[in-house]
Structures are given as structure tokens and as C-alpha cells.
Chains A and B, each alone.
Chain A
Amino acid sequence: MNGHTNPRTAALLSVSDVHVAYGKVEAVRAVSLDVADNEIVTIVGANGAGKSTLLNAIMGILPLKGTAAFAGQDIAPLDIEDRVAAGLSLVPEHRELFATMNVEDNLQLGAFRIAKSKAAAAFERVYHLFPRLKERRKQLAGTLSGGEQQMLAMGRALMGTPKLLMLDEPSLGLAPIIVADIFRIIGELRANGVSVLLVEQNARAALEIADRAYVMELGEFILSGPAREIAANARVAASYLGFQHEGASGI
């Protein structure tokens, strides 16, 4: 089932009939997905469903088969660096920070592909969203707490002023109070003109802030629609929101 609630023309990111394989094993099969301007879209699903694989393929870390367009441009032939320059950004599950460099240098490098004149404004925006990073700006990234590292990873991605920010499990391994903080900030990104594609095992929190959602199982989308409808779906509630059996929500 691949219902598109948004018209294709308005899509910022549009991938269709995408397959991603590790050797002979297909981790993602015939997946189609759209993200519109100023929209927060989430992909929920269990561990190993292929969510991260899909994000990595959209970013260009893994090769994909199928079509992928971003801001009206075919991104299939572009490598990671050119996709970044086009306004696509990924905060990967392992954050991939520059551990032996300080917070400020990490953020400055996030603005590597934008004009120097725009970097000052980007710094201000990021420090406004994450005041904690400003306090720690001379501290080495590797010495930050898990929550601060997640904030830094998001901040670094936002420094490049992306049009679409893809977040891979931003809440993984964080204390509940910090998770709430992170999700509040993701909600605020829309005001900054950034669309979000969010992959989460914490389906409840993700569905609360998202406009639309896709449910992924074993490499395929089995359900899609407005986030509220997805949250109300009996099968989703049972499998991912933990109403009947616990443990599946991934916290």
C-alpha cells in the first residue's frame, strides 16, 4: 500500500519504487515516499525493518535502485557531498561527530558547503535552538553527554541550512527528559523552514509531532497516512505503541 496523500508536484523529496540491497539480501523493497515542503514525516517500524537503510540510501551512503528526486532534481547520480550541497542532510544513528574537535569546530564544519557570510547567521540560529551547545562550545565533542552529542549532531546538520533534515533514531539511548527536549526542537524546525524525515522506534513520540507517517515492516511500507490516523490504527497500536504487548516501542 503506497497511498500518497500529497500531490507529487509539491514534493520536496520524492522517491519511488526504491530497492536497497546488501549484496543479495534486499533490505528495502519497492518503497515509495514523499516529503513536502514544511512537512514532518516519520517512518516507524521495528528494529531491522530497513528504516535506517532507506535513509542511508536516500543520502547516498548506500546505492539504491529506483528513482529519487530532491527539489525537482534527480539525485541518483549525485554522491553524498553533492546531495549535501543540494540541501539534503542526514543525522545518522551513530551521529558521526568529530570527537577530538570542539563543539564550535564541529558546527563550523557543518557550514562547510555554504557561503561564509551565511555561517554567522547559522551559528546564531543553532545556538538559539540549542543554548546548551553555546555553553559547551569549547568542549571536545567526544566528551559531551549522549543528549548533548545528539544536539550537536543535529546542530551540525542544521549549520548547512538544509531544506530537508533526515533524523535516524534521534532518541536512541537518551534519558526520557532529553528525548522530550529533542522532540520539542524537531517540532520547532518547521518554523525555520526545514522539513523533517524522522525514523524512530519510539513510535508514540514520533507520531505525536509528525504530519504523516509510513509504517515499515521487513523492508516494505505496509501502511501510510496522516500521523493521527496511523496512531489510531489498531494494528499499529498493538505492534508499535505497546497497548497489548510491551517492548515493541523500543524505549
Chain B
Amino acid sequence: MTKRLGGVYAAYLVFAIVFFGPVLFMLWSSLRNNVDITGSLFNIGSPLTLENFTNLFERFAFGRYIANSFIVAGGSTILGLVLGAPAAYVIVRRKLAALGFVTLLARMAPGVLFVLPLFVLSIRIGGPDSVALNYALLIVAHLIITLPLCIWLLVPFFEEIPISIEESTLIDGANAWQRFLRIALPLALPGLSVALTLSFIFSWNYFLFALALANERTLPLTVIAFNFIGQGSNDFGGLMAASTLISAPALLLTIFAQRWLVRGITGGAVK
């Protein structure tokens, strides 16, 4: 048995180096000086500094970019849940697989396809000039990411609810909406947590729509990350610090919400 345990931990070590090594490299590089990052990888003793991070906030309005990312990812996640949960319920109760398919077209279509139409819509309604409208547009655009995801993640959870529980309420004369709100939704609460976590992350991670639609006040973190490398500037430290900040929600949620993440990723495939 101990021999087997040793084998498992050896495999753990190999996989951890391969799959977690680059993440560690990013975290470490974000704390190193530029001249050390492009120097030797094996110079483990090189000094560590928080300068890359403090620079981000001094040179850019990084606090605002972070806030924008939260607004867009949070808004589109909540809206995705509000719209997606009832839809998932309907798909399960009425076996509307076709509806599921249509929402999945959003997952199949290349993101670039949406950029020009969304941009044209945005300028037609004055999106670039109004901060509030711009946030709204970004949130709605990110629904393309979050809505299919929410529906797909919630369907298995609604399926787990035994029909008998709802049938018992039919006698009380509860209408469909009451049944959904009072019975189905609370029972699908774990599913909502799962959808919330994963939608948030995928919306947070997406950069293409924000690049097209955001104005100077609403720009989120992901779009800014590119700005460290350019003509006459090779700020690898800043780049790695920005990448770390972009990955922060993923890293934090891994620590604090691992259960929801794992259920979310595996939920649709394995019940």
C-alpha cells in the first residue's frame, strides 16, 4: 500500500511540475526585476520586489480596470443567472433540447463574428459616449459567454429535482412561477453557486468584446495586459504582474471555491 501511495505522489509531483510550474513561474516573475526575468531561470536567489505591482497602479488606473472587470463579469453573471435559470428549468421540464441547442450556437460561433455587429450596434446607440450605457453594453455582450454556460450548468441540477416534490405542490394550487421560485430554485442552489463561479471566471477572462466595445472609462483588466510590450518598452515584470492580477480570481476561487469549480466543470458531463 505504501508503495502504491509513493507511486501516486510521484505522479502528483510530475503533473504538478508540468501543469502548475508555469503558474509558479508567472507568480515568481511578477516579483522579480526585469533584468532578472530575462536572465537565468536558475538564479533563484535574485532579489524579490513588489515594484512591478506598485508600478501598475502608479502608471495606469489599475484600480479602475479591476473595478471594471468586476462590474462586467459580475453583471453579466447575475444577468446570465436571472435569464438562464428559468430557461434551464423550462428546458428540463418541457424537454426543449432545441432551445438548448440555439443557446449553444453562441458557444459554437467564433467570437470574432460578434465583434463587428456588436460594435455597429454600440455606436448606433451612442455606446462609446456614455459610461453607463457602455457598462450595460459590455454586460449584455458578455451574456454571449455567460448565458449558454449558465443554462448548460443548471440543466443537470434541475434534472436532479424529483418531480414528485413539485407534484405535491400542485395540490396546493401553486402556479408555475411559484413552484419554480419556492421549490425548484432553492433545491438547485448548489447549481446556482456552480454557475455563478464559472460564469464569473469565463466572463472575467474574455477580452475580445471589451477590446471592441469599452471606452476609456470602462476598460477591463484583460485588455490592458497587452500594453506592457511595445516599441521602446519591454516591461516583462509589469506584464507578469498584470497577468498575475488577471489570474487572481481564478487562483483565489481555486482556494476558496474549489468544490463549486469542480462541480461546475464536471457537472454537465458526470452527474
Do the two shown chains form a genuine complex with each other?
Answer: no
| A contact residues vs B (CB 8 Å cutoff) | none
User: Contact residues of B with A, CB < 8 Å?
Assistant: none
